[in-house]
Amino acid sequence: MPLVDMLGKINWSLFLSTLTGVLAIFAGIVAWSEKNKDDKKTIEFQRQTIELQQKINDITNKNLEKAEELSKQYKKNAQMQEELNNYVTGGNTKPTILINCFKRPFELIGDSYSINVDLENKGKYPLQNVICTVNDVSCAATQKHVREIRTLGGWVGRRPPLKPEEQEEVEFNTNIGSVAPNSRFPIFTGVYNFQYSKIPPGFVIKVRWNNGDVIYYFHGKLLDDKLIDDGTSEMVFNGKKMNLANIEIK
């Protein structure tokens, strides 16, 4: 083969190889350029997405703060409503019965036991529309022999003793109305002497108010001149029988 033809083939092959390399480099540059553009778009999109998410978070946080504030206000309103309702109904306040028994002389019957019963509100809220009924189980038989006139505040004046055919009152009804916290109201005064009564001292006390009713079945006995519960007393609160509570004896 002539030398000129050989050199021509070599130059042509080199040219094609070089051209191919250049084209490959150019294609790489173009691809890199396009990718770089895509990366910039991606970065910009990510930045915008982060900003949008931050705005959403800010709005959500503000809404949460508002929701929390509203929740607090609702709870406060509910508490105020409950407090108002408790003042109207008495809430969970129950009346306390105070029994005061002491020995003293009475005309005609001598030394006997004066028994005073009061209703007291020791709760937080007033008791509304209070009505009391005391059934005198034991004092009536003694009372008919007493000349002193009994009132809810104590003993006053004089009266002739009842005749044998006359009966002493055994039921006492008191429409008290409202009983404020830390206040009391007298509901019964009686006198007990076993010689005349023949049975141990006891009462049935019924109390009704806006938010409930209770019946106290008090069975007592005298020990060392003191009136105590004989252990069989009980109470019925809103129709449910339970052990005696809310009674204080002095």
The residue extents of the domains of the chain are 1-89, 95-249
Average pLDDT value for residue range 98-105? 89
Q: Is the pTM of this model over 0.85?
A: no
Q: Looking at the chain, list the stretches that DSSP marks H as alpha helix, in order from N- to C-terminal side.
A: 3-89, 140-143, 194-197
pLDDT at residue number 52 = 64
Q: 95-249 has which CATH code?
A: 2.60.40
pLDDT tens for 11-42 read: 545 445 554 554 555 555 555 555 555 556 55
Q: How far apart are the first and last CA of the chain?
A: 144
pLDDT at residue number 7 = 38
Q: Which residues lie across from 243 on neighbouring strands?
A: 234
Q: Could you tell me which residue, 56 or 215, shows the higher pLDDT?
A: 215
Contact 214, 130 (CB under 8 A): no
